[in-house]
Structure 1
Amino acid sequence: MGRHSSGKQNYSVSGGVILATVAVLALIAVLIWWFGLRSEAEQQDADAAGECIQGDLALPVAETIDGVAEPMIGQWNESDPIVRDHCVTAELVSSPAEAAVVIGPDSPTTDDALGDRTVSSSPAVEVLEAGLVNGSDDTAAGDVTYPVASDPDVAVAVATALAGDAAPDLLSRDRSHSFDLDSDSPQAARQALAASSDDFTPVDNAEVVLHAHILNPAGEITEEQTRAAAEFAEAFDATAEIPDTVPERSAAWAAVDGDSGSEDPAPQGSTEPVDTLLLFDTSDNTNADFGDGTIHTVGADALAALATALGDEGQQVALWNYSSPLNPGVTNGWRRNISFTDAAESAAAVQRFGTGGVPQSRSALVAATAAAAEQARATGEPARVLLLTTGTAQDMDDAAFTSALDQAVGDAEVEISVVHVGDGQPDSVLADRADDSETVTDAADLESTLRSVAGLED
């Protein structure tokens, strides 16, 4: 039979051809996606490598209150920080000696932990709420246990807020106490230590401000790590959160550092060179002209010479400077720069201070005297505080100052020597309380006066 045509063109394509075409197109799409993905990943790697051309950098962070630094470290690391072309990773270390930044209050607790490390700046990074565990708004201050041994910053903050002028006695009473999670009695604590939020009652004006104490390069800590520490601190700036009503806590700290309650302090007034804490006024007052320089420059030179002379006599020397708090959230005007150690360190460090603020001499002397008392008890030998001051911007009234100073000395053998420099008004109460008080208005007399009150023969 013949095959008949329909008269129409046949444009149909076999199923096999269609499948083959679809497979080829799919393969092309996969290849385009694959090479595009690889190119994007490689570009990201190249970009990352370009941003971190200096490689990885560890930022060692220490803390003076357990648990406060770890949340900051985790949050910062999640942001993949890059500082000066370094990919930076923060890590917790156990000692400030190994750290580039230390998270802790601006208080004697942190000062003690820092040891010989020096601080470039201390911006506020967090405000901790402190209050009562197992207590209430009606709990009497005397019924609270203050954990002076385990958390002195919280103990001081809560005791001062609750008890005011009676805080030193309560802190002296509880100097050996630590926080006890199993206790049902009212205790001062941070909110983080409460078993639940229902067990915690905040106390007004008992906040503890944490600072990022950025340390100067030393040992294995480099300038790059110090720069990274500054970036770390900036990321947690808490200046705006600091309350304006935090009360003065100097007298309370003196009770923590010293041995209060002794009605019969040991006789004072040694005339021999002894371990000496040099307390240097670095307020704006010290920028006044004095001899061929200023009170600050001439005073620094004289104290450096005195430190060297005391070291030659075999004595240890500590060095603090003070004015008024210069940074937001800082409540203490003094800085424990160098603890009792070889005199050469103090002789060198005294030349590096800046100036600013007003001379809060009374609170600084109370804190320094408590530290000298600790040294006297530790060595079994007398110790001295030698204060070089331009005057007093009154930060403690007469009664509070006298009481706090007595508590700071306690049963220790501590001598207080005061050298007032310049034409400012001397603090008569401070002078009366000192074992030796001198006024120097001629720069040529300063070094010999310091040697005399330090028990050194000319």
Structure 2
Amino acid sequence: MGRHADGYNNWRLSRELTIGLIAAVVVVGVVVWWMTARDETNRTHATASPCINGTLALPIQATDSPQLRDLLADYRGSDPVVRDYCVEPQLVSSGADAALMLASGPREITRAALGAVDRTPASDNWPVIFTTPVGIAHTADTEVSGADWPELANRGVVIPAGGNIYARAVAASALSDADADRGVDLLRADRTVTVEDAVADGSKLLAVTEDSTPDGYAFYSPDDLAVNTVAIPLTATDRVSEEQTRAAADLARYVSDHVAQKEPDDAQRQVLSTADIISERFAAVPEQSKGSVDAGTDTLVLLDTSTNMDTLVDGHRIAGHVARLLDPLMLSVGRAGGRVALWNYSSPLSPGVTRAWRDNVTFLDNSAGRNAAEVVKGFGTGGDPLTRSAVPAALGAASQHSAETGRPVRLVIITSGTADSIDDRAFRNALDSSDSEQIVPQIVHVGTAPVDPVLADWATSKGGTAFTADMTVPSMADSLQKAFGVARP
């Protein structure tokens, strides 16, 4: 029987096949969407910052140097992250504000310096962050090749002051063949000679660190002696957060992993251990001054004891250097028949205290400077330098004493700067309120903070002086000596 056409072609897909094709298209679409979304998510994660909490400053107490800059650049390049903070190292001048401190020299001295600002190491593991070669800078016409330290000592090596005091102690130990007594004598002999002085005097052999070799000199290192600088993580305080101490520990771990922790050989160890002794002895003995002062010049010393005085110079706090340098100067005043008063100042640190200054030893003291020399060694540090609050008070006391005795008074102000809010005009008016012509103001500015221009201008306008000491012990010693009017024989 024949088939009849129904008017429709028979190319249609079956219902089942159509449904399957649609399902396949949907599945493919879902897969493509998922893969695209996944790739976008991965790209987002790859470019998103891991620093959810932002940037964390890591305060480090240290002196800037090329070696330190290179190390910190490498550390930053490792993209350090601690507790979802990106870590950013920054240098600070005070140990009170630091989460990490760099130091070289005997551990006992380092611990004492930390104790003076109420800081504690977070661990006993202090990794070496860099080493500084110690050797001889020599002129081109001076042959030193093959010579050892004792042989060079017989050729008149100068150990200039300034720079790293422990490195100088290492050089003194090597030159004295690890004789502590002789090494201390070598340091004292050159204690006021800077590198610039030695070069100007034509010295051909200088004991220096490699990075302080003067222009025109070459560096030679017998026995490859070097000074280690270590990184010391510190515990948290009310000024240093737990997160910052964790960042300090992270940097210490980075140093341990990336810096060779080389141990000295036996000969070097002997030199370094003797250098520890030399460094401690030299730091403990005040500068000896047998000079004289103007007879009858009573002196009031106003000493800044703020945290600015914690800044390290030659491996020790400025406060320690100043106390040691003041000792013989105040005794010199006493030997000349003058009386010595001693005040210190900073922002108040005790509850209920409102004054910025403390009159520790007054002009009533008749110990010829001995009590002031003893008291100055016991000062701690803390707070801010409220110089503009303290100076008028000290000036008033000096003026009153001068009026009572009819004698001149030397007002020696040792300051690290000004942090209080008294404006220039009010401060100048307070200074000018004393019309005594018998007061001789002598300003010695130390540290890295700016000089108070009003204070300096007032001192010079009254016939006094305003010295700004360089960040070296010889400069501080010279400035203080001039402020006291001491003439060395």
TM-score norm. by structure 2 comes to 0.43
**Which has the larger Rg?**
2
